Every structure is written in structure tokens, then in C-alpha cells.
Structure 1
Amino acid sequence: MKSNFHDIIQDDKPVLIDFYADWCGPCKMLGPILKDAKATLGDNVKIVKIDVDKNQELASKYQVRGVPTMILFKNGKQLWRQSGVLQKDEIIKIIKSHS
């Protein structure tokens, strides 16, 4: 994951990274919400899930202290981040505001 993570976030479309863990309850709630958001936004966004337990180096590089943490990138720049679960409409609004 690490080698191409840099390439993934270089996209000129917004890329939402969801740092999650399998043991995390709120992360399980966020999964379907992100799926719905992706269905609504289609090709206007990439949504990538990253397991913090399998990618500890990446999680610590981005100072992910709690899961779920979402970070929005575009052209390699971090535009927004938040920990916790957001509703679909909020997520869509945030992504659209950075499109």
C-alpha cells in the first residue's frame, strides 16, 4: 500500500482516505455511508480504505490517533481531515467543496 499511496493521493480529483480498523465499531458504521457517498458522487471522487493495523507506518506518518479518521487529498495536498463518523450528506458536501 505504502509504495502507491503517494501516487493515489496525487490525483487531481478529491481522494478520501478512510483510516479504519477491523475491531472498530464506528468504522463498521462508516463503511456503508462511504459506499453511499461514492455511489452519489461516482467518478468525482476516489475513496480508499486503509487498515491502520496493517499500515502502521502510514497511519503514524499522518498522525492518525483514532479510527475512523478520514483525510481528503487532492493533487497530493491534504485539504481536510476529521475523526469519527459523519453522515453521508456531510461527507458529500465536504468533498464537493474541494472538487
Structure 2
Amino acid sequence: MTLEELENTIKTEVGVLLYFSGEKCNVCHALRPKFKEVFDANFSQLKQIYLDAHENPQISAHFQVFSVPTMIVFMDGREFAREGRSVSLHQLTEKLKRPYGMMTEQ
């Protein structure tokens, strides 16, 4: 995925979760299935995009991602939430529920 394609996706989708990880990041690999499960169950209209930060340095730099894992949630084309390293999946879920519900009328 190019930076241009990614920016277009962010502008056209209801919401987007960018999950930046790294091949050698054990925390990234442990968190990813948990995030996928929670986002599939609670935020099904958010498009989930997983990127290796080391394989996509231009995209990582553009979004100012300097450590992994980093999750960035975009809603209505704008950055809404950013979490990195020690992430509370519960807190992020609670933070997203209300605005997501308003945007998707759930």
C-alpha cells in the first residue's frame, strides 16, 4: 500500500485503524490478535490496516511512528486516537465507543 492509497482510504472510510508493528516485536505479535478480536466485535465498520513499520519507512515517518506497536485510529478522516507501546485495549475501546456509535448510528 502506498502513502497516497492509505491517505485516500483514511478520507473515504468511516474509520481506519492503523496498526504499526515490527517483525521482531513480540509485543506487536501478542497484541495484534487481541486488537483484531475486539475491533471485529465492537468496531466492525473500522477498516483495519496492519503495517510493518520497518518495511514502510515512508508511511511510518509520515504518521510520526517511531516505536512499535503503535495504533492510530482515524474517524471521519481525522486522527482520533493514538496509542503506543503499553496500550490499554479496554481504555481505547471505551474511548472509541461513543464517537463510533454516533458515526455509525449504533
Does the 8 Å CA contact 2:15/2:77 hold for their aligned counterparts? no
Partner of 1:26: 27
Is residue 14–residue 45 contact of structure 1 (8 Å, CA) maintained in 2? yes
The equivalent residue for 1:48 is: 49
Aligned position for 1:91: 92
Moved over 4 A (4+): none
Deviations 1:7-50 (A, max 9, x none): 22114522111011111111011111112112312533222111
Would the aligned equivalents of 2:14 and 2:45 in 1 still touch at CA under 8 Å? yes
Q: 2:82 maps to which residue?
A: 81
- Give the RMSD, CA atoms, in angstroms: 1.8
- Scaled by the length of structure 1, what TM-score is found? 0.85
Q: Unaligned stretches of 5+ in structure 1?
A: none
> How high is the TM-score relative to the length of structure 2?
0.80
Gaps of 5+ in 2: 101-106
Structure 1 pair 97–42 and aligned structure 2 pair: CA distance change class (3 A): closer
Contact 1:36 1:88 in 2 (8 A): no
**% of aligned pairs identical?**
24
Q: Which has the larger radius of gyration?
A: 2
Q: Is the 8 A contact 1:30 1:85 kept in 2?
A: no
- The alignment covers a number of residue pairs equal to 99
Question: Is the 8 Å Cα contact of residues 13 and 47 (structure 2) preserved in structure 1?
Answer: no
**30 and 70 in structure 1: CA distance in 2 versus 1, 3 angstrom threshold:** same
Whether the 8 Å contact between 1:33 and 1:87 is mirrored in structure 2 is no
Quick check: 1:14–1:46 contact (8 Å CA) kept in 2?
A: yes
CA contact (8 A) 2:72 2:83 kept: yes
